[in-house]
């Protein structure tokens, strides 16, 4: 009996909570979502870029240590990989700026 009363009270109050949340969401608009999207985008891009660049640097140093004669070829490949990773991070920064520009 008590469980049924508790469930009836809970489900009876849900429409009131939903109306309150809808009023708050319309007051804020989409700016909060744009800000959260921009921060998540740049955070994930920076973290992923840092991890990838660390892996490339580590692998290049390991390869050069094993075969010093191939340093020139490995260095060029490493720089190209680093440039491509950094361009993706910068692209994410541009997207974050575009999202922040929609706030206001």
pLDDT at 7 over 80: no
Residue ranges of domains in the chain: 29-101
Position 104 scores a pLDDT of 60
- Give the tokens for residue 46: 């920076």
- Look over the chain and give the mean of its residue pLDDT values, rounded to a whole number: 81
Q: How many CB atoms lie within 10 A of CB 86?
A: 13
CATH 2.160.10.10 is the classification of domain 29-101: no
Weakest mean pLDDT among 25-29, 66-70, 73-77 = 25-29
Q: What is the pTM of this model?
A: 0.63
Gap between the Cα atoms of 41 and 46, Å rounded: 9
How buried is 96 (Cβ within 10 angstroms: 0-12 exposed, 13-18 middle, 19+ buried)? Answer: buried
Integer angstrom CA distances of residue 53 from 50, 85, 92: 5, 7, 16
Q: State the pLDDT at residue 23.
A: 55
């Amino acid at each position: 009996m008590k469980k049924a009363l508790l469930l009836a009270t809970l489900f009876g109050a849900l429409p009131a909570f939903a109306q309150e949340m809808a009023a708050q969401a319309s007051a804020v608009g989409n700016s909060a979502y744009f800000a959260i999207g921009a921060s998540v985008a740049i955070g994930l891009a920076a973290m992923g870029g840092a991890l990838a660049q660390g892996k490339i640097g580590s692998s290049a140093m390991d390869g050069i240590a094993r075969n010093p004669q191939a340093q020139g070829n490995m260095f060029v490949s490493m720089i190209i990989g680093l440039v491509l990773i950094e361009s993706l991070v910068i692209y994410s920064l541009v997207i974050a700026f575009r999202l922040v520009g929609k706030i206001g």
